[in-house]
Structure 1
Amino acid sequence: MARLTTLVGVATLLLSQTATAKYSLFKTYDATNFFTEFEIQNITDPSSGFVDYVDAATAKALSLAGIRNNNQIYLGADSTTRNPTAGRQSVRVESTDAYSKGLFIADIAHMPANSCGVWPAYWTSGPDWPNSGEIDIIEAINLQKTPIITLHSGKDCVVANTGSAAGSVLTDANCNSGCSQSTTDTQAYGDGFNAVKGGVYATRLTTSGIAIWFFPRASIPADITAGTPDPTTWGVPLVNFVDEGGCDFASHFKSNRFIFNINFCGWAGSTWSSYPQCSAAAATCKEYVAQNPEAFKDAYWLINSLKVYSESQDIDRSSTDDVAPTWHQPGTELSPNNSPNYVSADLRFYSPYCAEKLSTDLAPT
């Protein structure tokens, strides 16, 4: 009886959060516009990773970013250069749009494979870190088999994971220090993800919480495929974050941009000794990454699309005050860069001033 009561309570919670949500497509990022809507970030890695994030011209010249198979976005890392002095060359991209609420559906065909030293991430981040929030949707390191999903925020945001899938464990409830949920789905990350031809990550950001679902390729709900997503029919999410101590999600998670990157070492290096297979191959993460370029031939993202859905299409495009963004790696901080302009909407949608972009004819193969 106790278990039944718990299940009913969880179901009620999930339904109450989405009962009135009717999502309509707001914007699609795909092969037709990805490299005009995302910036290539030629920055120094703030997390001390052994990585060289290249600029747009270099990414094109080295075929580290472009359109593959006619309609898939490719983001990769160098897998031929031995002993690079500045770190292994790689790509980091960030959207020029930002959102404070919405349903974000990423259809990903391939992600960086499990390998010693690799640290890939698909995440979002706001302009005033950590006060405007960060959502680490896909993130793991080295040979880790499952993703760790983490929120970062300003002070006074304590969460619970009520409604998360069985096996997802909240390891820290304080989002100011990083509230993480460990997961057990081996198809949701790395080699396991690629073995099932990838799948869909759906992230719902609302004023009452953040929920993330993962569906492997063969189990993508029909409503997602049809472009009429209905989270009320999807069952329990992989992870669910709800307020447990005065966490106002609307103020803690706002103006978030999408980011895809492939880093090396950094966090992966700090845990090097915890992976015997890695530490047996080289004394340090940096040494391994420098001397084994062939280990990273499968360290790439292949993205079909990223779609943003809104609960309303009543978009108010009146401008208000500017917000200054910052560049940073998941869980770290960087200095301010160019300022975006704010466009209010049901999605709390932002669009920045001009920045370096790539064209969609970039390095097709």
Structure 2
Amino acid sequence: MRTSRLLLRFGASLFCAAGITSATYVIEDIYDTDNFFDSFNFYTGGDPTAGFVKYVGAVTANDSSLAGYSSGAVYLGVDHKTRNPTGGRDSVRLASNKAYTKGLFIADIAHMPNGICGVWGAFWTFGPNWPSSGEIDIIEGVNMQATDSITLHTSPGCTLGSTGSLPTSNLSNTNCNTGNGNDGCSFSTANTEAFGTGFNAIGGGIYAMEWTSSAIKVYFFPRYSIPADITAGHPDPTRWGMPMASFSGSGCDIDSHFGQHAIVFDITFCGQWAGNVWSSSPCASKAPTCNAYVAQNPAAFTGAYWLINSVKVYQE
């Protein structure tokens, strides 16, 4: 892995010297089937979102086939066999050992767990002493949502606008502070191919999050239209057009509100979001409560899994 990084950096210098192009970003880390489980740790504490879930460690996840490899990719799933599990359904939450401040994060994902009643799956980053170091929710949604939410959570004093985002995305709140009844600043997206069943039907795609001192942007590219510069390993966000979400503006010093983020994948059930909106969702006809449905219907969660080809982190 170290050799490949050196080659890529040397290659970028050659391109610049030849006058062909000047790479904005160079590869920092690659997480895939070669090193994913050596580079991420399993969280086994209680769910901070009060979900009906038990996060298990590496040994249990391996023995129960909740984490491993499938179809040449990293598999992260949930227990879909046990009826009425005590205290919650077994699942996994993994965070990278390495922390990052700014950069370009490109995740090639073939399948996500979302679009299923009771499920709350997320791909996100966060820093220490939450929320003082910020949180960036890149993929997130609950129950049978057809589109996802992209959200920032911060300590007080961070207000960001939506300049430069796709017009089909809606920023519902500009105050990113998480507290006093406020739940961060959040975009509602409109592309059904970017989330849940629509995403899985096309074989997934690429999510890219660019984090700089001036903006935090999230892009999505379906499997059939991934930019050539990403495929070539020389990503150039200036060529990608408008992102699904772009948080920017003078109302927030991004550098003071975001830092030292771990990369996280998780799957939880019910809790403060999926559970709280259960009665107003189409899922309400399946069971009186979210917890009851999750407990009594293990086979419903056969498709609740992440299939991750790679996560690549680039730095300027």
Same fold (TM > 0.5): yes
Alignment of 1:53-72 (within 5 A): 53-69=55-71, 71-72=72-73
Match of 2:267 among 262, 275, 293: 262
Cα distance in structure 1, aligned partners of 2:168 and 2:227:
22
Alignment of 1:284-303 (within 5 A): 284-303=289-308
Partner of 1:157: 158
Structure 1: stretches of 5+ with no match in the other structure? 1-19, 312-365
Cα distance in structure 1, aligned partners of 2:232 and 2:25:
12
DSSP 3-state at the match of 2:97:
strand
Q: Does 1:181 align with 2:192?
A: no
Structure 2: stretches of 5+ with no match in the other structure? 1-21, 179-183
Cα distance in structure 2, aligned partners of 1:130 and 1:300:
27
Q: Does 1:272 align with 2:278?
A: yes
Deviation readout 1:286-337 (Å, 9 max, x if unpaired): 00000011110000000000000011xxxxxxxxxxxxxxxxxxxxxxxxxx
DSSP 3-state at the match of 1:99:
coil
- 1:185 shift after superposition: 0.5
Preserved CA contact (<8 Å) 1:117 1:269 = yes
CA RMSD of aligned residues (A): 1.0
DSSP 3-state at the match of 1:232:
helix
Alignment of 1:195-206 (within 5 A): 195-206=201-212
- 1:41 shift after superposition: 1.0
Deviation readout 1:161-218 (Å, 9 max, x if unpaired): 0111111111110100300010101011100000110000000000111000000000
Cα distance in structure 2, aligned partners of 1:97 and 1:243:
28
Preserved CA contact (<8 Å) 2:114 2:141 = no
- 1:113 shift after superposition: 3.9
DSSP 3-state at the match of 2:230:
helix
Partner of 1:4: none
Aligned length: 289
Match of 1:43 among 37, 42, 45: 45
Preserved CA contact (<8 Å) 1:134 1:153 = yes
Q: Does 1:125 align with 2:135?
A: no
DSSP 3-state at the match of 1:66:
strand
- 1:21 shift after superposition: 7.1
DSSP 3-state at the match of 1:290:
helix
- Percent identical among aligned pairs is 57
Letter in 2 for 1:59: A
Letter in 2 for 1:181: F
DSSP 3-state at the match of 1:259:
strand
Q: Which runs of 4+ in 1 moved over 3 A?
A: none
Letter in 2 for 1:290: A
Partner of 2:104: 103
Partner of 2:247: 241
Partner of 2:9: none
Cα distance in structure 2, aligned partners of 1:205 and 1:154:
18
Letter in 2 for 1:115: I
Letter in 1 for 2:313: V
Letter in 1 for 2:161: A
Alignment of 1:17-28 (within 5 A): 22-28=24-30
Partner of 2:83: 82
Partner of 2:140: 139
Cα distance in structure 2, aligned partners of 1:67 and 1:186:
27
Q: Does 1:193 align with 2:203?
A: no
Q: Provide the TM-score with structure 1 as the length reference.
A: 0.78
Cα distance in structure 2, aligned partners of 1:216 and 1:122:
17
Cα distance in structure 2, aligned partners of 1:166 and 1:21:
29
Deviation readout 1:241-270 (Å, 9 max, x if unpaired): 00242x111111100100000000011010
Preserved CA contact (<8 Å) 1:38 1:94 = yes
Cα distance in structure 2, aligned partners of 1:95 and 1:128:
16
Cα distance in structure 1, aligned partners of 2:118 and 2:144:
8
Letter in 1 for 2:247: F
Cα distance in structure 2, aligned partners of 1:244 and 1:191:
37
Preserved CA contact (<8 Å) 1:113 1:194 = no
Preserved CA contact (<8 Å) 1:157 1:243 = no
Preserved CA contact (<8 Å) 2:215 2:247 = yes
Partner of 2:181: none
Partner of 1:172: 173
